[in-house]
C-alpha cells in the first residue's frame, strides 16, 4: 500500500547550482526555525570542509511537514567523486528534484546523478534555479534537460517531467519564469502532486537497509535507512544480515525520526519513513536489518569501482612525530578501515609492509578530502602520487577515461586544446556560447588529468571552467607526459635564509619563504627545467670587514607559491611523497640523501610506487 502521509525525495544538482540553498529556503518556509532564531546560510553543510569549499561532501537528511505530509529531504553531493553517497541515497527515496542553473543548464555531474535516479525508476521534477541571473535562458535549459533525459534512456513517464522556476536565495518559485510567487508554495504543491509516496507493507516483516552512517560520542554508531516494511521500536530484537549472508542477532537501543535538522527519539517507527537506529554494533553499509523470525534480506548496494589509488604510510621524514597526535601504523590502519566502512566507494588494503596501506577512491578530490579530514583530526602520515587502476578486459589492459567539459574564452582556446591534445584527449563536441566563450567536450584518460588542473588554470589565467565525469574504460593509450618540470630539492638540513633563497629563486618557483626549517631531500620549489636540481637554501653570506657600495641592499624575494593540499597531490612525481601533518604538508623525495638518490638514478632503478 501507499504511505500517503510521507514523501521521500532527494535533491540532485551539479556543484554550485544552489541545491543546499534551496533546502535552506524550504526549511525556513516550513517554520522549522523560531521567528527570532539566528540561522546561518547553507545550514546543512555542517562539515568545516564543506563550508570552506562550498560543496556538499556527505549526504544529509532533514524533514519538513507541509499540509500534514512529512517530506523527508536528502541533500546529495554534486561532485562525481562522491558518487558512492549518491548511489546509496537512491535506495532511500521515491522521487528527485533535479536542480539546474538557468544559465549553465545540465552539467556533467548532473548527468551522473540523474542516470542513477532514472535507473532506479524515480520520477523527477526539474527545478530551474537562479532565474534572476542576467543571462538566464530558461527555455533553452529546459530543452537541453529534456534531451538529457532522452539520452539517458528515460521512460515516457519520466521524460514527461514538471518544470518549476525558483530563486533559492530569496525563496521564490513559480510555474513560469515571469510568474514568480514570493514563496516556495508552488514547489511544495508540485512535490505532493507529482512525486509518489513510498509503497510499503506495514504488516509485513521488518525490513531496512543500512544506507548512511553517523556517529555520536555517546550513542555510538548511528544507522540511517528507509523502513521498507513492518515497524521497529526501542528494545526490539532484530537480525542483521551482512553482505556475505552471515546473520547476527541484535537488540535496538533507540529509534529516531527526522524533524527539521533534529533527530527526535520515538518509541516506534512505521514503514515508509527514513529513520535512524542505535545499538546495532558493527553494522556495515548495505547490511539488512530484518525480523529474526521472518528474515528477508535485501540485495547489497552496488557502487562503481574506484579509479585512482595512493599509498598511505607512516611518516618517515626527519620531522616525524613532531606535529601529529596519531603517528603509529596501528592508528593509521584503524582510521582508514573505519573510513572504508562508512564510505563504500573507498577500498583499503594492507600491503607487504606493515607501515603502508593501499587506498583506492573515485578521484583526486575524493582522496584529497580524506587526507584533509585525517590531517585535521591529528593524524600524521605520508602519501604517494595518485595512480590509475588498470583493468584487464579480453586479455588487454584498459584504463579509466574521463569525460571532460571545459569552458574557455576565445583567446585561451589554443592553449587549452594543445594541453588536452598532449594528454591524449579526443574532442567529441564543441559549442559557441552566447557570451563568446567556447564549450569543449573531451574524452581524456584519467592518467592525463593528474596534475592537469593547475596547468589549465595557468593557461586560462584562472578564468577557465572545467568539470569531469567518469566515462568508462578504454584500451591503454600509451605514455602520457604529465609533468614537464623538475623539483628544486634542499641540499642540506637547516633553516632557510633570504640569501640562500634568493640564489635558488633564479632557478624556478619557490614553495617556501625565509626562516623555514627544511631537511635534506625536501622539495622547496619547482625547477624551470625538466630535471631535479639540488639547491642550498640555508647558506649564509660570508661576513667580512669590507663593504662595497650597494652590497648591503636588501635582497628581494618573490612571494612563494602557496600550494593547497590538492595542488601538492597533483604536483607529486613518481619518486616523491607528500608528508602530511596537522600543522603543515611538505613534498619530499622518497630517497632523501642526494648521493643515494644519484646512485640509484645512475643504476637505472625505478622507485617502487
Instruction: Name the average pLDDT for the chain.
Output: 84
Same domain, 595 and 517: yes
User: Which range among 440-454, 544-558, 562-576 shows the weakest confidence by mean pLDDT?
Assistant: 544-558
Same domain, 254 and 186: no
Q: What is the pLDDT of residue 607?
A: 46
Same domain, 65 and 175: yes
Domain containing residue 235: 207-290
Question: What CATH number should be reported for the domain holding residue 453?
Answer: 3.30.70.240
Q: What is the pLDDT of residue 43?
A: 45
Determine the Cα–Cα distance for residues 277 and 283; give it in Å rounded to an integer.
Answer: 11
Is 594 domain-assigned?
A: yes
Helix, strand, coil percentages, rounded to 5, for the chain: 25, 35, 45
Same domain, 92 and 177: yes
pLDDT-based confidence at 489, cuts 50/70/90?
very high
C-alpha distance from residue 313 to each of 194, 249, 357, 578 (Å): 51, 37, 6, 10
Determine the Cα–Cα distance for residues 225 and 208; give it in Å rounded to an integer.
Answer: 6
Same domain, 260 and 177: no
**Whether the predicted pLDDT of 38 surpasses 70:** no
- Of residues 1 and 545, the one with the higher pLDDT is 1
Question: What CATH number should be reported for the domain holding residue 529?
Answer: 2.40.50.250
Work out the percent of the chain whose per-residue pLDDT is above 90.
24
Same domain, 420 and 527: no
Same domain, 221 and 247: yes
Residue range 369-379: average pLDDT? 91
Task: Give the highest mean pLDDT range of 93-97, 283-287, 596-600.
Answer: 93-97
Is 301 domain-assigned?
A: no
**Whether the predicted pLDDT of 578 surpasses 90:** yes
Q: Report H helices in 388-450.
A: 413-422, 446-449
CB atoms within 10 A of CB 415: 17
Same domain, 239 and 140: no
Same domain, 281 and 172: no
Task: Give the highest mean pLDDT range of 2-16, 55-69, 189-203, 319-333.
Answer: 319-333
pLDDT-based confidence at 535, cuts 50/70/90?
very high
Same domain, 181 and 269: no
- Beta-strand ranges (E) seen in 188-283 are 207-209, 212-216, 220-229, 231-233, 237-241, 247-251, 254-259, 262-266, 268-270, 274-278
Is 591 domain-assigned?
A: yes
pLDDT-based confidence at 567, cuts 50/70/90?
confident
Same domain, 45 and 153: yes
Residue range 139-165: average pLDDT? 90
Is 482 domain-assigned?
A: no
Same domain, 187 and 280: no
Residue 552 labelled as part of a binding site: no
Q: What is the pLDDT of residue 462?
A: 80
Q: What is the pLDDT of residue 375?
A: 92
Closest C-alpha among 538, 485, 484 to residue 507: 485
Q: Which of 170, 194, 218 is the last residue of a domain?
A: 194
Q: What is the pLDDT of residue 609?
A: 38
pLDDT-based confidence at 45, cuts 50/70/90?
very low
User: Which range among 36-40, 267-271, 300-304, 450-454 shows the weakest confidence by mean pLDDT?
Assistant: 36-40
pTM > 0.85: yes or no: no
pLDDT-based confidence at 358, cuts 50/70/90?
very high
Residue range 469-478: average pLDDT? 86
pLDDT-based confidence at 83, cuts 50/70/90?
low
**Whether the predicted pLDDT of 42 surpasses 60:** no
Determine the Cα–Cα distance for residues 205 and 290; give it in Å rounded to an integer.
Answer: 7
Work out the percent of the chain whose per-residue pLDDT is above 70.
89
Measured torsion, CA atoms of residues 475, 476, 477, 480, in degrees rounded to the nearest 10: 160
Residue 350 labelled as part of a binding site: no
Question: What CATH number should be reported for the domain holding residue 163?
Answer: 3.40.50.300
Is 297 domain-assigned?
A: no
Residue 21 labelled as part of a binding site: yes
Residue 132 labelled as part of a binding site: yes
Q: What is the pLDDT of residue 40?
A: 45
pLDDT digits 0-9 by tens, 206-237:
889 888 877 776 777 888 888 888 889 888 89
Q: What is the pLDDT of residue 343?
A: 77
pLDDT-based confidence at 47, cuts 50/70/90?
low
Write the DSSP symbol of residue 379: B
Is 366 domain-assigned?
A: no
Q: Which of 173, 194, 215 is the last residue of a domain?
A: 194
**Whether the predicted pLDDT of 301 surpasses 80:** no
Q: What is the pLDDT of residue 88?
A: 75
Q: Which of 137, 161, 194 is the last residue of a domain?
A: 194
Number of folded domains that form the chain: 4
Residue 5 labelled as part of a binding site: no
CA angle 293, 299, 301 (to 5 degrees): 130
Is 136 domain-assigned?
A: yes
Is 317 domain-assigned?
A: no
Sequence-separated (6 or more) residues with CB below 8 Å from residue 293: 205
Sequence-separated (6 or more) residues with CB below 8 Å from residue 167: 129, 130, 131, 132, 173, 180
Residue 17 labelled as part of a binding site: yes
Give 40-43's long-range contacts (Cβ < 8 A, gap of 24+): 43/261
CB atoms within 10 A of CB 42: 16
SS3 275: strand
**Whether the predicted pLDDT of 335 surpasses 50:** yes
Amino acid at each position: 500500500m501507499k504511505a500517503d502521509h510521507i514523501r521521500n525525495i532527494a535533491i540532485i544538482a551539479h556543484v554550485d547550482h544552489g541545491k543546499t540553498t534551496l533546502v535552506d529556503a524550504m526549511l525556513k518556509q516550513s517554520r522549522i526555525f523560531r521567528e527570532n532564531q539566528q540561522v546561518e546560510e547553507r545550514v546543512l553543510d555542517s562539515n568545516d570542509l564543506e563550508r570552506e569549499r562550498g560543496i556538499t561532501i556527505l549526504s544529509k537528511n532533514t524533514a519538513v511537514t507541509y499540509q500534514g505530509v512529512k517530506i523527508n529531504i536528502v541533500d546529495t553531493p554534486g561532485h562525481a567523486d562522491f558518487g558512492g553517497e549518491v548511489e546509496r541515497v537512491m535506495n532511500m527515496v521515491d522521487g528527485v528534484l533535479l536542480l539546474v542553473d538557468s544559465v549553465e543548464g545540465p552539467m556533467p555531474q548532473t548527468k551522473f546523478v540523474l542516470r542513477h535516479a532514472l535507473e532506479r525508476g524515480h520520477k523527477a521534477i526539474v527545478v530551474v534555479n537562479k532565474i534572476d541571473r542576467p543571462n538566464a535562458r530558461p527555455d533553452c535549459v529546459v530543452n537541453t534537460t529534456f534531451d538529457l533525459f532522452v539520452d539517458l534512456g528515460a521512460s515516457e513517464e519520466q521524460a514527461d517531467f514538471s518544470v518549476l522556476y525558483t530563486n533559492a536565495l530569496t525563496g521564490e518559485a513559480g510555474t513560469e519564469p515571469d510568474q514568480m510567487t514570493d514563496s516556495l508554495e508552488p514547489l511544495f504543491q508540485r512535490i505532493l502532486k507529482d512525486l509518489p509516496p513510498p509503497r510499503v507493507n506495514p504488516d509485513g516483516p521488518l525490513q531496512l537497509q543500512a544506507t548512511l552512517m553517523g556517529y555520536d560520542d555517546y550513542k555510538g554508531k548511528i544507522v540511517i535507512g528507509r523502513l521498507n516494511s513492518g515497524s521497529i521500536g526501542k528494545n526490539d530484537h532484530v537480525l542483521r544480515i551482512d553482505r556475505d549472508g552471515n546473520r547476527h542477532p541484535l537488540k535496538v537501543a533507540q529509534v529516531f525520526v527526522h524533524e527539521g535538522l533534529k533527530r527526535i527519539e520515538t518509541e516506534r517507527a512505521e514503514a515508509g519513513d527514513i529513520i535512524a537506529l542505535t545499538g546495532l554494533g558493527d553494522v556495515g553499509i548495505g547490511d539488512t536489518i530484518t525480523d529474526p523470525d521472518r528474515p528477508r534480506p535485501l540485495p547489497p548496494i552496488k557502487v562503481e569501482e574506484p579509479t585512482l589509488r595512493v599509498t598511505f604510510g607512516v611518516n618517515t621524514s626527519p620531522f616525524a612525530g613532531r606535529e601529529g597526535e596519531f603517528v603509529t601504523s596501528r592508528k593509521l590502519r584503524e582510521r582508514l578501515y573505519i573510513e572504508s566502512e562508512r564510505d563504500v566507494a573507498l577500498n583499503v588494503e594492507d600491503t607487504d609492509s606493515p607501515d603502508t596501506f593501499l587506498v583506492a577512491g573515485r578521484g583526486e578530490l575524493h582522496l584529497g578530502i580524506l587526507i584533509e579530514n585525517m590531517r585535521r583530526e591529528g593524524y600524521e602520515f605520508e602519501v604517494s602520487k595518485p595512480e590509475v587502476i588498470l583493468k584487464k578486459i579480453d586479455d588487454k589492459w584498459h584504463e579509466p577515461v574521463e569525460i571532460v567539459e571545459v569552458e574557455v574564452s576565445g583567446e585561451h582556446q589554443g592553449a587549452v586544446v594543445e594541453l588536452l591534445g598532449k594528454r591524449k584527449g579526443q574532442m567529441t563536441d564543441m559549442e559557441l556560447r552566447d557570451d563568446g566563450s567556447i564549450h569543449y567536450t573531451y574524452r581524456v584518460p584519467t592518467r592525463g588529468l593528474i596534475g592537469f588542473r593547475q596547468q589549465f588554470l595557468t593557461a586560462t589565467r584562472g578564468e577557465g571552467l572545467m568539470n569531469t565525469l567518469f566515462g568508462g574504460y578504454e584500451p591503454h593509450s600509451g605514455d602520457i607526459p604529465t609533468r614537464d618540470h623538475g623539483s628544486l630539492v634542499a641540499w642540506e638540513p637547516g633553516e632557510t635564509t633570504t640569501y640562500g633563497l634568493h640564489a635558488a629563486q633564479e632557478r624556478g618557483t619557490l614553495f617556501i619563504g625565509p626562516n623555514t626549517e627544511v631537511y635534506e631531500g625536501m622539495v622547496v620549489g619547482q625547477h624551470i627545467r625538466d630535471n631535479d636540481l639540488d639547491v642550498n637554501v640555508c647558506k649564509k653570506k660570508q661576513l667580512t670587514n669590507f663593504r662595497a657600495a650597494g652590497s648591503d641592499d636588501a635582497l628581494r624575494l618573490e612571494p612563494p607559491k602557496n600550494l593547497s593540499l590538492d595542488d601538492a597531490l597533483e604536483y607529486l612525481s613518481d619518486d616523491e611523497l607528500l608528508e602530511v601533518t596537522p600543522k603543515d604538508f611538505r613534498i619530499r623525495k622518497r630517497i632523501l640523501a642526494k648521493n643515494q638518490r644519484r646512485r640509484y638514478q645512475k643504476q637505472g632503478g625505478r622507485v617502487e610506487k
